[in-house]
């Protein structure tokens, strides 16, 4: 809850700062990516708080994810690395604590608040990074298969973890998306094109606890190529 409070205060500060500036603007953006049995589409409303070489933006992003025949592994950092907090990213995986479920098909839709960091080389070319901070995920329950039966149980139901929160490494909770991209905007145009890669976390929660009293399992996509288009609006929309 402490981390959530800090994130909320950050968002309020950014939105308040943008309201006091006259150089902020918005963009509406859509992307499509696919790789190795999964498809990821996004629709974003980005509010840039400044119009300078280095831009900072806050966005509402809809992520729609469809995947088939994926293996989800134990999610909590306390199990995967034995610790909680930022130090988890520097700890090796504890392989004996990591279990796997096989998911025939997963379909989720998440709405997250994201931060965009972008550097403009000139009026046409820019490069940036963005990442989801927190939000919610919707999706129905789906049967999943246990690769190692537990108490003679081989199949259980699982559903998306409802609330998403960026922390650090395996401390993250839920569904989160991030992108590394380059952007091109022609002269005298409100439209732009985007090319990059995304890294996506999808998390399911089983209806009962399984090995090591755990019910959270995560799939991390490989880097997924993406293409996108956007439309720049002259003023901020929120």
- pTM comes to 0.87
Classify residue 67 as left (phi > 0), alpha (psi -120 to 50) or beta. beta
The CATH number of the domain covering residues in 2-233: 2.40.160.20
Band of residue 148 on the pLDDT scale cut at 50, 70, 90? confident
Strand residues in 75-190 grouped as ranges (E): 100-120, 125-138, 142-150, 153-160, 163-165, 176-184
Encode pLDDT of 187-204 as tens digits. Answer: 999 999 999 999 999 999
Tell me the pLDDT tens digit for each residue of 89-142: 888 889 999 999 999 999 999 999 999 999 999 989 999 999 999 999 999 999
* pLDDT 10s digits, 116-125: 999 999 989 9
Task: Give the span between the Cα atoms of 205 and 66, in whole angstroms.
Answer: 17
Helix (H) or strand (E) holding 3: helix 2-19
What distance in Å separates the CA atoms of residue 172 and residue 94, rounded to the nearest whole number? 17
Residue of 188, 201, 191 whose CA lies nearest to 230: 191
Average pLDDT value for the chain: 88
Share of the chain above pLDDT 70, in %: 87
Average pLDDT, stretch 219-227?
95
Is the separation of the CB atoms in 201 and 179 below 8 Å?
Answer: no
**Does the structure show a pLDDT above 70 at 181?**
yes
pLDDT digits (tens, 9 = 90+) for 9-42: 555 555 555 444 445 779 999 999 998 899 999 9
- pLDDT category at 205 given cuts 50, 70, 90 is very high
Residue 149 has pLDDT above 90, yes or no: no
Beta bridge partners of residue 61, listed in sequence order = 44, 112
DSSP state of 173: B
């Amino acid at each position: 809850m402490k981390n959530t409070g800090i994130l909320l205060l950050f968002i309020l500060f950014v939105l308040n700062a943008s309201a006091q500036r006259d150089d902020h603007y918005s963009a509406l953006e859509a992307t499509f990516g696919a790789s190795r049995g999964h498809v990821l589409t996004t629709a974003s409303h980005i509010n840039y708080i400044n119009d300078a070489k280095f831009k900072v933006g806050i966005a509402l992003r809809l992520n729609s994810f469809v995947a088939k025949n994926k293996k989800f592994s134990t999610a909590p950092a306390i199990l995967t690395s034995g610790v909680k907090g930022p130090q988890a990213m520097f700890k090796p995986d504890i392989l004996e604590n990591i279990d796997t479920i096989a998911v025939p098909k997963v379909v989720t839709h998440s709405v997250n608040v994201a931060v965009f960091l972008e550097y403009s080389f000139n009026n046409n070319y820019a490069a940036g990074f963005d990442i989801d901070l927190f939000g919610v995920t919707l999706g129905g329950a789906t049967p999943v298969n246990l690769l190692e039966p537990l108490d003679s149980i081989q199949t259980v139901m699982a559903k998306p973890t409802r609330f998403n929160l960026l922390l650090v490494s395996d401390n993250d909770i839920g569904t989160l998306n991030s992108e590394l991209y380059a952007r091109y905007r022609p002269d005298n145009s409100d439209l732009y094109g985007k090319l990059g890669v995304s890294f996506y976390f999808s998390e399911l929660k089983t209806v009962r606890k399984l090995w090591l009293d755990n019910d959270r399992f995560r799939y991390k996509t490989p880097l997924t190529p993406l293409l996108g288009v956007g439309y720049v609006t002259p003023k901020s929309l929120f």
